[in-house]
Amino acid sequence: MLQHGKDAGTAPPPTRRRFIGGAAGVAAAAAATPLISGCGGSAKADGKRLTFWNFYAPQQTQDPAIKAQAKWLTDLVKQWNDSHDVKIDLVFIPGADYNGGYKLPSAFAADDGPDIWLLSPGDFLRYQNGGVLQDLTPHLDKGVVEDYGDSLNSRTVDGKVYALPMEVEPLAMYFDVATWEKRGLSEGDIPTTWDQMLDVGDKLRSKTTAGLVFETNPGYYQNFTWYPWLWQGGGNVIDGDGNAAFDSKAARQALGLWQDAVAHGIAPRTMPAAGDFLSAFKTGLVGMWMNGIWNVSNFKAYAPKHKYGFFKLPIPPGGKYSTALGGWAFAANAKGNNPEQAAEFCAWALGKNDEECIDRMVEWCTVAKSDVAPRKSVLDRATEKGGYDFWALKKFKDDIAPGGRAEPRYPPVVYKAVSDAIQGTMLAGKGVNSEVERAAQSIEAFMKSYKGASLI
C-alpha cells in the first residue's frame, strides 16, 4: 500500500499560493516600488504601541488551520504584552490583500508601514535596500545565529541578521493514491528522473484529471517552485560570485521540462480547481502536484482520511537533487515607531535560548502548522517530543528537506525576467533559447547598475 494519510475532512482551505502572492498584481507592485522609503506609520506616536501585520486572519476564514495559526500569534502577543511596557497590536490582514496587491509596499511608501511584519525571502531585498529593516543581531542570544545555521543565509547582510525565520517549508511532489492505484501504479513506479515523471504523469492523466501540476500563475510563488528544476541541473540565476548566470544549459532544460509537460497535455495550462490543492485531490482532478509541506496540516484539518503520498523531486540526467526551502520571517521596521523594541520583540519571539522560546517555535512548526523547524535546537526538541512522528512530517524532515536551498532573494527586475521566461515558454509558445537569452540580457543589464545588498 502506498503511504498516505489516515482520517475524512470537511471544506478545503485557501491554498498557500494565494498567501504567497501568485497573482500578477504582486509583480506590478514590486516593479512599481523597487525600493521602500519613509519613516513608518507610527512615527508620530509615543513609542509605546507597535503594530504587527500578518496574514493569518481568523475573521476572514473558516479554515481551522489558519485559526490555529492565528491563535498562536494571539497567544504570543498576549504573553509579550503581559510582561512588557511597550504593547503590540496584532493587525490581521487577509492573505490576498497582504501579498496579492499593493497594501504592504504601499503602506511603507506612504510612511505608514507596520512596526513588525512577516517577510518572505522573495521580498527581502526590496525592504533591505530601502533601509527599513532593523538589525536584529544585537538582540539575539549568544549562539542563536549558529543555531539557525543556513536558515539565516537569505536574511543576513554583511554578517547582520535582518529577519528571523519562523519556519522552513520544502517542496515535494504530492500524488493522489486513489488515482495512482486506479491507473495500476505502485510504489515501484515512483519516478526518480524527469522522463519517468513525465511518463507517470501521462499515465495518470485523463479528460478530467491532470497528470502533473506545475504552478501556472505568474508571481514569486511560481518562480519559487521553478528554481529547483534549474538547480538540479547545476544552474543558477546569479552565480556564487554575484554575476548573472541564467544563460545556461540548466535553464534551458528546466524551462523545456515545464514547456514539454504542458505541450503534451500532461500538465494543465490552468490550475485544477482554480488552484485549490485539497479540492483537486479530493475530487480526483489531479494525479501529481508539486507543492509544499504546509499541505500536511491542511490534509490533517480538512481531509485526514484522504490517501496521499509525496516524493522527492526527480532529477535530470547527470543532475543532483535539490528542492526550494521557503518560509516566512519576523522583521522590524527601522523607521517605525520604536525600532529597538520592535527588534527586541522579534528576538524575544524567535531568537532566544530560553525554554519558552524553544517550545513556542516547536508548537508553531509541529502543532499550529506543519513545517521543518529553522533552528537545530527547535528541531531537536520537536523530534524528542514526537512532533515529527507523523509519517508525512518525518518524511519531509528526513528525506525531502536535506539537500534543499533557501528561496532566493532576487529584486523585482531579476524576478520578473525569470517569470517572463517561465510564462513565455510554458504558456505562450515562445522558444526556450530566445527566452533564456532575453532573460539573461535583462538580468545582466540590471546587474551592471545594481547598488544594493548582495543577491546571494
How many Cβ atoms from other residues are within 10 Å of residue 93's Cβ? 20
Grid coordinates belonging to 82 = 503581559
Helix (H) or strand (E) holding 74: helix 64-81
Between the alpha carbon of residue 306 and those of residues 295, 376, 439, the distances in Å are: 12, 32, 41
Indicate the range of 6-15, 77-86, 104-113, 248-257 predicted with least confidence: 6-15
Residue whose C-alpha cell is 514590486: 30
Q: Which of 45, 119, 25 is nearest to 86 (CA)?
A: 45
Grid coordinates belonging to 153 = 543565509
pLDDT tens for 299-342 read 998 899 999 999 999 999 999 999 999 999 999 999 999 999 99
Give pLDDT, residue 66.
Answer: 83
* CB proximity list for 102: less than 8 A, separation 6 or greater: 25, 29, 32, 33
| pLDDT greater than 80 at residue 415 | yes
CA angle 136/48/134 to nearest 5° reads: 20
How many Cβ atoms from other residues are within 10 Å of residue 241's Cβ? 7
* Exposed e or buried b per residue across 30-44, where buried means at least 16 C-beta atoms within 10 angstroms of its C-beta: beebebbebbbbbee
Mean pLDDT of the chain: 90
Give pLDDT, residue 99.
Answer: 72
The three-class DSSP label of residue 197 is helix
Distance of CA 38 to the CA centre of its chain: 27
Grid coordinates belonging to 3 = 503511504
According to CATH, what is the number of the domain 170-325+410-449?
3.40.190.10
Helix (H) or strand (E) holding 80: helix 64-81
Cα within 13 Å of Cα(298), Cβ side:
18
Secondary structure tally for the chain: helices H, strands E:
19, 12
Grid coordinates belonging to 341 = 523594541
Q: Which of 103, 134, 81 is nearest to 29 (CA)?
A: 103
What is the average pLDDT across 438-442?
A: 98
Asked if residues 237 and 456 have their Cβ atoms less than 8 Å apart, the reply is no
Write the DSSP assignment of 75-130 as a string of letters.
Answer: HHHHHHHTT-SSEEEEEE--HHHHHSSSHHHHHHHTT---SEEEE-GGGHHHHHHT
Indicate the range of 58-67, 116-125, 365-374 predicted with least confidence: 58-67
Rounded to whole angstroms, the Cα distance separating 166 from 373 reads: 7
How many Cβ atoms from other residues are within 10 Å of residue 304's Cβ? 13
Rounded to whole angstroms, the Cα distance separating 29 from 16 reads: 19
Grid coordinates belonging to 113 = 508601514
Residue with the larger pLDDT of the pair 68 and 20: 68
Domain ranges of the chain: 35-168+327-400, 170-325+410-449
CATH 3.40.50.880 fits 35-168+327-400, yes or no: no
Rounded to whole angstroms, the Cα distance separating 347 from 161 reads: 10
Rounded to whole angstroms, the Cα distance separating 349 from 49 reads: 17
Give pLDDT, residue 45.
Answer: 63
Rounded to whole angstroms, the Cα distance separating 431 from 428 reads: 9
| pLDDT greater than 80 at residue 346 | yes
Give 11's pLDDT tier (boundaries 50, 70, 90): very low
What is the average pLDDT across 109-136?
A: 94
| pLDDT greater than 80 at residue 358 | yes
Domains 35-168+327-400 and 170-325+410-449 equal at CATH topology level: yes
What is the average pLDDT across 358-362?
A: 98
Rounded to whole angstroms, the Cα distance separating 20 from 29 reads: 14
What is the average pLDDT across 199-203?
A: 98
Give 95's pLDDT tier (boundaries 50, 70, 90): confident
Write the DSSP assignment of 149-161 as a string of letters.
Answer: GGGGGGGEETTEE
Q: Which of 324, 323, 325, 293 is nearest to 308 (CA)?
A: 293
CA angle 329/92/52 to nearest 5° reads: 50
How many Cβ atoms from other residues are within 10 Å of residue 159's Cβ? 7
pLDDT tens for 267-281 read 999 999 999 999 999
pLDDT tens for 43-71 read 446 789 999 999 987 765 667 778 889 99
Grid coordinates belonging to 259 = 514547456
Rounded to whole angstroms, the Cα distance separating 289 from 310 reads: 9
